[in-house]
Amino acid sequence: MGNIIISSEREISATVVPNVFIDRYMLGANGAYVKVYLYLLRCMSGDGHPFSVEQASEELDETEKDILRALSYWEKAHVLSVAKDKDGIKGITFLDLLAGPSEKSAKAAVEKTEEVRTAQTDAPENNAPIISLEAKRKELYKEKEYTSEELNRLCGEKDINSIMNIASTLLGRFLSPVDQNFILFVKKQLGFSEQLTIYLFDYCCGEKGKRNIEYIKTVAVSWYEEGVTTIAEAEDYNIKYSESYAAVNRAFNLGRLPGGKEKAMVLAWKKKNYSPELIEEACNIALMQTGSPKWNYANKVLMDWEKKGYKTLKEVKDGEAANRSSENGRKNTSYAKTNTNSAVKPAVTKSAAAYNSYPQRKYTEEEYDNLERILLQN
């Protein structure tokens, strides 16, 4: 078959991918890392597409830890420069790939980032294949395949049956053999308790809105690698990689994980879809108004904005500016009315008004003389 020419008759708003990235870097990276790189290019395309780790996680259907892992990968491969401080990522810069390291050193950087391990012996004639950590992870977390008889028997166990009923409700569908196999993987191979497995589905399907089994598996493996064994530890892990808590930390400068009530508040804010920028602004206001990191004050600010229908920081600023303008207009109108009334109508007291309404008697000159004479005699 001859060469196929690809063309287009339509104008498109395009995101440009450097050829050198495709030729030199893309083939050595896993699909999730390539997705993150392309997403970053899209965010840089100039039309104001925002970027945050939390937003990228939502749109790419990857965990926040996977987004951070991808950024670290491309940074070590000399594709990106990631600026950080104690509060987290502050900026991302695309490096000049043509002016970057040679193909050989770039490949070495990629291999180092992936923690590539070789099965080669010291013998030069042995050319054993290189096995990456990613391949080892896939092998390690490969789900065991069950026969239909084994599935029926295991699904009849009380705790597994309970998990499957709840998972079916949260997923919004009847469980397929793939779904059932995954639940057995989590329960039997990862060793999750019944409560933690249910929370896994509740967190992914409810809080994150993700019903893709691959996404849920990624979260489960992340928890397993971090040593998560309880719901409380899972919540701490989720908070640790949460943009919402990072926003609180930036404003209050806590430098620690939140306590029980604080954690519940952050989770409530996430469920209400308050953006990290909105949360940070509310915390800044709380700090300025009270002089200390008052969580309850910040929560009242957020609730007030919610009642007013503000969903973004821009809406908050625009709404407050409009309110100030309206208040100034009312004050000026009131002042003008007061001045106008005082110029046209002089103030009249109640007693003066009563006196003027009483019928006044008229005296003749003779009567005045008689009155004067009576007064002198007295």
Q: Find tokens 């078959």 and name the residue.
A: 1
As a whole number of angstroms, the longest Cα–Cα distance in the chain is: 150
| Residues 95 and 169 grouped into a single domain | no
User: pLDDT of 39-63, one tens digit each?
Assistant: 888 887 655 566 788 788 878 888 8
Q: CA separation (Å) from 218 to 54, 118, 191, 299, 303?
A: 16, 26, 15, 32, 34
Q: Residue 131: its pLDDT value, please? A: 41
Q: Residue 40: its pLDDT value, please? A: 86
Q: Residue 183: its pLDDT value, please? A: 93
Determine which of 102-111, 141-150, 293-302 has the lowest per-residue pLDDT on average. Answer: 102-111
% residues pLDDT > 70 (the chain): 69
State the Cα torsion 45-46-47-51 to the nearest 10°: 70
| Residues 232 and 257 grouped into a single domain | no
Distance in angstroms (rounded) separating the CA atoms of residues 226 and 234: 9
| Residues 28 and 42 grouped into a single domain | yes
Give 333-364 as a 3 state SS string: HHHHHHHHHHHHCCCCCHHHHHHHHCCCCCCC
The segment with the largest mean pLDDT, out of 136-140, 154-158, 195-199, 271-275, is: 195-199
User: pLDDT of 333-351, one tens digit each?
Assistant: 555 555 555 554 455 444 4
Mean pLDDT over each residue of the chain, to the nearest integer: 75
Q: How many CB atoms lie within 10 A of CB 271?
A: 10
Domain that holds residue 274: 243-307
| Residues 164 and 224 grouped into a single domain | yes
Rounded to the nearest 10 degrees, the angle between the axes of helix 213-225 and helix 64-76 is 70
- Domain CATH code at residue 23: 1.10.10.10
In a domain, 261, yes or no: yes
Element (H, E) at 81: strand 80-85
| Residues 249 and 282 grouped into a single domain | yes
Distance in angstroms (rounded) separating the CA atoms of residues 147 and 150: 5
Distance in angstroms (rounded) separating the CA atoms of residues 249 and 88: 10
User: pLDDT of 232-256, one tens digit each?
Assistant: 888 888 877 777 888 888 888 877 7
Amino acid occupying residue 232:
A
In a domain, 161, yes or no: yes
In a domain, 1, yes or no: no
The residue out of 240, 260, 276 marking a domain boundary is: 240
Phi/psi for 301 (5° steps) reads -60, -45
Determine which of 85-94, 125-134, 189-198, 218-227 has the lowest per-residue pLDDT on average. Answer: 125-134
Determine contact, residues 74/33, Cβ cutoff 8 Å: yes
| Residues 250 and 282 grouped into a single domain | yes
Q: Residue 21: its pLDDT value, please? A: 84
- Mean pLDDT over residues 155-177, rounded? 91
In a domain, 99, yes or no: yes
Q: Residue 3: its pLDDT value, please? A: 57
| Residues 158 and 235 grouped into a single domain | yes
The total number of structural domains in the chain stands at 3
Tokens found for residue 316:
């908050």
User: pLDDT of 300-324, one tens digit each?
Assistant: 999 999 888 888 888 888 887 777 7
In a domain, 11, yes or no: no
Q: How many CB atoms lie within 10 A of CB 145?
A: 9
Distance in angstroms (rounded) separating the CA atoms of residues 259 and 236: 9
Q: Find tokens 């006044």 and name the residue.
A: 360
Residue-wise DSSP of 95-123: --SSSS--HHHHHHHHHHHTT-EE---S-
User: pLDDT of 255-285, one tens digit each?
Assistant: 777 777 888 888 888 778 888 888 989 999 9
In a domain, 177, yes or no: yes
| Residues 201 and 280 grouped into a single domain | no
The residue out of 113, 139, 173 marking a domain boundary is: 113
Determine contact, residues 128/119, Cβ cutoff 8 Å: yes
| Residues 24 and 109 grouped into a single domain | yes
| Residues 271 and 189 grouped into a single domain | no
| Residues 36 and 95 grouped into a single domain | yes
Q: Residue 109: its pLDDT value, please? A: 45
Distance in angstroms (rounded) separating the CA atoms of residues 16 and 252: 39
Q: Residue 206: its pLDDT value, please? A: 84
The residue out of 223, 240, 257 marking a domain boundary is: 240
In a domain, 61, yes or no: yes
Residue 214 pLDDT > 70: yes
Q: Residue 77: its pLDDT value, please? A: 82
In a domain, 371, yes or no: no
Q: Residue 362: its pLDDT value, please? A: 55
- Domain CATH code at residue 200: 1.10.10
User: pLDDT of 76-135, one tens digit each?
Assistant: 888 888 887 766 787 888 888 776 544 444 444 444 444 433 333 343 443 434 344 455
Q: Residue 325: its pLDDT value, please? A: 72
Distance in angstroms (rounded) separating the CA atoms of residues 207 and 224: 20
Residue 372 pLDDT > 80: no
